[in-house]
Structure 1
């Protein structure tokens, strides 16, 4: 058996890590082909990664030109604790205020913990300047180095 087969997580563990995570690294593609990599708070909607950003941000401009993304959610500090999920996919953009606000609330709940009501005013104000995205997965990779022990 290959080490890759040993460390890969089953689908339910992948979903659990994504549902329990708070931040991800998001890579989009700059006009010159280089990666644009940022850390983002995110939420989950219907099993898909959801995030929002300002309409004029570099990532929004990149995604308007090329909707491909790579998202990385990881956990652990030491080598034998490391686990992660990488999602390669394309985004669907959400522009309507209700849709953007709904994603903003998902993201805010990750930022503030379970009680996101403290951020309701922030979400309502920020939604007018933002767009939101859902990631349609094309390839999902996972690893859990705890399986090596």
Structure 2
């Protein structure tokens, strides 16, 4: 992952606020367990679901069961928004990632990600060809390379944009 261009937006920040450091955003993405994935239905309506994800190699990775609404949506429009953060009002940082979901099919990469899911989230995936199998069924793996990330600091309130 390349180091992003950082743009602090004072219009949406409190006086005295500064840009959220990129290292802090990376740590949030690495340590978060649950994210909210936003996809778009064919008729343009949003579809938002909580999804466990793994941040690795500059990408957010998630799995989608073959019969899920997310899969239908991604087939029609692979652009997504992914959010994570904290429910606190006056502390922490919320992070929004925008990008395009691309299916991961490389066996070595799938094996490496399965190991990360096991070690970080205690989820056990078995790689079979270019899919994952688990007790819930078969899933495809997607990776999202960020096009833009927004970080919203909460103490003081700030908005920082990272472009890739």
Report how many residues are paired: 139
Deviation at 1:13, TM superposition (A): 1.0
Deviation at 1:7, TM superposition (A): 6.2
Equivalent-residue separation in structure 1 for 2:33 and 2:147 (angstroms): 22
Deviation at 1:32, TM superposition (A): 1.3
Equivalent-residue separation in structure 2 for 1:49 and 1:127 (angstroms): 17
TM-score by length of 1: 0.80
Q: Which moved more, 1:18-27 or 1:50-59?
A: 50-59
Deviation at 1:147, TM superposition (A): 2.9
Match 1:25 to one of 26, 36, 59: 36
Structure 1 outlier segments of 4+, above 2 Å: 1-8, 95-112
Aligned pairs for 1:15-94 (under 5 A) are: 15-77=26-88, 79-94=89-104
TM-score by length of 2: 0.73
1:80 is paired with a residue whose SS is coil
Q: Unaligned regions of 5+ residues in structure 1, if any? A: 113-118
Match of 1:115 in 2: none
1:134 is paired with a residue whose SS is strand
The answer to whether the 8 A contact 1:51-1:103 is kept is no
The answer to whether the 8 A contact 2:39-2:79 is kept is yes
Equivalent-residue separation in structure 2 for 1:132 and 1:84 (angstroms): 24
Q: Unaligned regions of 5+ residues in structure 2, if any? A: 1-9, 158-164
The answer to whether the 8 A contact 2:30-2:56 is kept is no
The answer to whether the 8 A contact 2:58-2:145 is kept is no
Q: 1:55 to 1:102 in 2, by over 3 A?
A: farther
Greater fraction of residues in helix: 1
Match of 2:4 in 1: none
Equivalent-residue separation in structure 1 for 2:38 and 2:121 (angstroms): 20
